């Protein structure tokens, strides 16, 4: 009952159509019916054709049996194509859904797990793909024919059918007794694999640091320890996982051997013909095949449950914006206000902000002396983090009541470390939107990218990726990030410690850019440098409950 309930739950998500089900059902039915052709032919040859030397009948029988075998092969290929289509369809639809869930999930929930863990969960689709491509569906369609084959054995050989049933029952009992052991090792293997995969990602992403510090030997020893644990568990998991295949082959031989021995005695007593014995032997072997497939899947059913739970962890992630929330207006002046905002992280005991209050008027430039809570503050403003209490207003609009993804182009946040994505420099500035190429060139000119890009092999078409951060000058990456923000013409620009690794040329460019933008949009500049924050209308220090103006510089909030 639990198995049937699980199937009903699982197949609610299966991207099957009525045509898919009908095609699988028809193909499976015809394949199993055609599989009777060879036993029937064999029985006729031994019992009728050989004793009567009916060569003409034999030739017609060979033609008919060959046609049946050929048609069965065509149907098996067709069923494989249908299953492949269902598999690709499922993986495409579910893969896109999982990536969409990750991209639209709450930042705090996403960061609860390592990147390697998320990748391992997506990788679980490989296991589910076989399940949802009709694997279990085909097994269930083939199982009723086991009864047909056993009935055929009973019709031909009587007691031989009970022998086949007994052997199948013993086989299923042995598989059932090993299932718990396999599940135990499989869960252990999953946990160790997640740790090993996360370590590999961290190691490769920091390969330059590893080489610079000459700690390759230490990292290799750590990996060898993880790999050794994985290998030990893999051996045990593989043993128990392949047991149904190995036992199935053995029990198929036991069925054939038993039918031959018992049937031979019956032939000697004239209770069974030689043709019926040969046909019973083939039917017994044929009856074992679906049972063996079911046993193998049954034992590895825990893999499906694990993979299903992994995928469900992503599908169950809370979205950043709930359905039905309206899109934010695109016409704002650029003021924002925090009203009694309190926030702490889920695993934190201390509040980052406690009843925080302050307001920034539109087109004002505010300098903020760097503090630990600034990034959290701006993530709240962007809607990436949700405060426990209080309100955040954009032009008097409470952002909690709107789709936060629709106002992030109006509010652009440039952190100290700039990210680049796999693609050309131009694509990174335009964020892969071909309609923004013209605006991207204008923005690149504003930040002085032309001269720097001219030194690259292919100019703006030079391909960069995440590893380019370690190879390209920081000034170039910072200008790409700033140009990317300017392309969308935001109402609010936030620079968070962007000057930390600026060279002199980039810093000079940045000062000029900020002076040009001043008064055209709202600017918040976080920095330790009084040289930069001094350009602002107001210089403040961020505390847990307010923005405190530093007297003698600028005007009050």
pLDDT digits over 254-298, tens only? Answer: 888 888 888 888 888 888 888 888 888 888 888 888 888 777 777
Per-residue confidence at 11, pLDDT binned at 50, 70, 90? very low
Class of domain 2-315: mainly alpha
What's the average model confidence in pLDDT over 5-34?
61
Domain ranges of the chain: 2-315, 322-410+490-557, 418-488
Give yes or no for residue 245 having a pLDDT over 50.
yes
Work out the widest C-alpha separation in the chain, in whole angstroms: 119
Closest to 543 in 3D by CA, of 377, 331, 427, 382: 377
User: What pLDDT is stored for residue 7 in this prediction?
Assistant: 44
Task: Write the CATH number of the domain with boundaries 322-410+490-557.
Answer: 3.40.50.300
Which pLDDT belongs to residue 130? 67
How far is Cα 48 from Cα 453, in angstroms, rounded to an integer? 87
Give the model confidence (pLDDT) of 131-147 as tens digits. Answer: 666 566 677 777 788 88
Asked whether 24 and 134 are in contact (CB, 8 A), the reply is: yes
DSSP string, 243-265: HHHHHHHHHHHHHHHHHHHHHHH
Cα–Cα distance measured from residue 140 to residue 229, given in angstroms and rounded to the nearest whole number: 37
Domains 322-410+490-557 and 418-488 fall in the same CATH topology: yes
Q: What is the pLDDT of residue 356?
A: 86
Q: If you compute the radius of gyration of the chain from its CA atoms, what whole number of angstroms results?
A: 35
* Token reading at 321: 């914006």
Q: What is the pLDDT of residues 377-434, one digit of tens each?
A: 888 888 888 888 889 888 888 888 887 777 777 888 888 877 788 888 888 888 888 8
The Cα–Cα gap between 15 and 26 comes to 19
Q: Give the architecture (CATH level 2) of 418-488.
A: 3-Layer(aba) Sandwich (3.40)
Tell the residue number behind the tokens 């098996």, with chain if given.
76
């Amino acid at each position: 009952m639990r198995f049937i309930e699980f199937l009903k739950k699982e197949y609610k998500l299966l991207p099957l159509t009525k045509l898919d089900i009908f095609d699988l059902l028809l193909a499976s039915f015809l394949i199993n019916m055609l599989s009777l052709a060879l036993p029937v032919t064999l029985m006729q040859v031994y019992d009728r054709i050989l004793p009567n030397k009916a060569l003409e009948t034999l030739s017609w029988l060979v033609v008919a049996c060959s046609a049946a075998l050929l048609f069965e092969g065509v149907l098996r290929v067709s069923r494989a194509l249908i299953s492949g289509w269902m598999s690709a369809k499922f993986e495409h639809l579910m893969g896109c859904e999982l990536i969409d869930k990750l991209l639209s999930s709450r930042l705090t929930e996403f960061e609860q797990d390592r990147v390697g863990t998320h990748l391992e969960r997506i990788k679980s689709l490989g296991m589910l793909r076989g399940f949802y491509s009709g694997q279990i569906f085909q097994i269930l369609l083939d199982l009723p024919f086991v009864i047909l084959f056993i009935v055929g054995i009973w019709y031909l050989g009587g007691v031989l059918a009970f022998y086949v049933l007994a052997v199948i029952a013993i086989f299923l009992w042995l598989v059932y007794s090993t299932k718990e052991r396999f599940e135990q090792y499989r869960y252990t293997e999953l946990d160790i694999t997640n740790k090993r995969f996360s370590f590999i990602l961290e190691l490769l992403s920091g390969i330059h640091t590893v080489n610079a510090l000459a700690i390759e030997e230490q990292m290799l020893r750590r990996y060898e320890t993880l790999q050794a644990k994985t290998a030990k568990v893999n051996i045990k998991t593989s043993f128990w996982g392949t047991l149904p295949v190995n036992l199935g082959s053995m029990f198929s031989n036991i069925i054939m051997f038993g039918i031959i021995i018992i049937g031979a005695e019956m032939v000697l007593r004239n209770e069974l013909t030689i043709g019926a014995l040969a046909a019973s032997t083939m039917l017994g072997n044929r009856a074992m095949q679906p049972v063996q497939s079911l046993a193998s899947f049954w034992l590895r059913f825990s893999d499906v449950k694990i993979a299903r739970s992994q995928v469900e962890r992503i599908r169950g992630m809370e979205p950043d914006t709930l359905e039905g929330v309206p899109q934010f207006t695109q016409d704002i002046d650029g003021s924002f206000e925090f009203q009694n905002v309190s926030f702490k992280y889920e695993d934190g005991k201390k509040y980052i902000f406690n009843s925080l209050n302050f307001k920034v008027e539109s087109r004002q430039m505010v300098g903020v002396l760097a503090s630990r809570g600034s990034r959290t503050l701006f993530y709240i403003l962007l809607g990436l983090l949700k405060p426990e209490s209080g309100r955040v207003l954009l032009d008097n609009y409470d952002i909690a009541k709107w789709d936060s993804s629709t106002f992030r182009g109006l509010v652009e946040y440039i952190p100290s470390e700039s990210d680049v994505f796999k693609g050309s420099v131009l694509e990174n500035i335009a964020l892969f939107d071909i309609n923004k190429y013209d605006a991207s060139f204008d923005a690149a000119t504003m930040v002085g990218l032309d001269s720097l890009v001219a030194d690259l092999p292919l100019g703006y078409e030079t391909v960069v990726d995440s590893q380019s951060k370690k190879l390209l000058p920081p000034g170039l990456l910072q200008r790409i990030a700033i140009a990317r923000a300017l392309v969308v013409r935001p109402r609010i620009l936030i620079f968070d410690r962007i000057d930390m690794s600026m060279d002199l040329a980039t810093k000079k460019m940045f000062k000029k850019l900020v002076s040009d933008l001043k008064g055209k949009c709202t600017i918040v500049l976080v920095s330790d440098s009084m040289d930069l924050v001094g350009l602002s209308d107001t210089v403040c220090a961020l505390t847990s409950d307010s923005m405190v103006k530093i007297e003698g510089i600028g005007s009050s909030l």
